[in-house]
Amino acid sequence: LAQPYFTASLGEIVSKRVVWLLLLFVASTLTGFVIRSFEGLLLGFVILNAFIPLITGTGGNAGSQTVATIIRAMAVGDVNFSDIGRAWKREIAAGLLLGLILGVIGFGQAMLWSHDLRVAIVIGLTLPAVVMWANTTATIVPIVAERLKIDPTVISAPMITTIVDATGLLIFFSIASALLRG
């Protein structure tokens, strides 16, 4: 907003957000397309369906933490466009460590739920990949948005959620397809 939050009209607040939400609403259909594309895999390994919320939720949560951290760093002048590479390296390393921790826990959870070592390995490998990808997206989107003169607080979180949901499932199903069908 071009003015303080409480002095902006409701119309200004809505108009600042609605276009992006409508664009991302349409883009969200990509997630459904990804799921439909792997329908055969999901029918053959029904247990994978139980992990979809875990994968998308973890990616979304990791992305939300990262984007909040990056936007705050931008607001206080710690990060700008010239720092994009440094910020990405830092967040990819954090994503790897966090993903490995969550991957080990996810592996255990998958063993409890599925009693199938192959499914557990899929989950254990997917989580680090999705967290690193979420951190990458959540680092780049707000920095580039600001560079393009788009308010990163309006676009970043919904765009990251949309991107990470669809691509996180693509990562999940690709790993599952490689390990379970082979």
Q: How would DSSP label each residue in 41-69?
A: HHHHSTHHHHHHHHHHHHHHHHHHHHHHH
CA 25 to chain centre: 16
The model's pTM = 0.89
Question: What pLDDT, on the 0 to 100 scale, is given for residue 182?
Answer: 63
Say which CATH topology domain 5-180 has.
Answer: Tetracycline Repressor; domain 2 (1.10.357)
The answer to whether 143 and 74 are in contact (CB under 8 A) is yes
Question: What pLDDT, on the 0 to 100 scale, is given for residue 27?
Answer: 86
pLDDT < 50 stretches in the chain:
none
Domain ranges of the chain: 5-180
Sign of CA dihedral 36, 37, 39, 42: negative
| Joined tokens for residue 38 | 């792997």
Question: What pLDDT, on the 0 to 100 scale, is given for residue 181?
Answer: 85
Nearest CA to 51 out of 98, 135, 121 is that of 121
Question: What pLDDT, on the 0 to 100 scale, is given for residue 145?
Answer: 96
Nearest CA to 139 out of 100, 77, 95, 101 is that of 95
DSSP state of 5: G
Question: What pLDDT, on the 0 to 100 scale, is given for residue 59?
Answer: 98
Question: What pLDDT, on the 0 to 100 scale, is given for residue 10?
Answer: 94
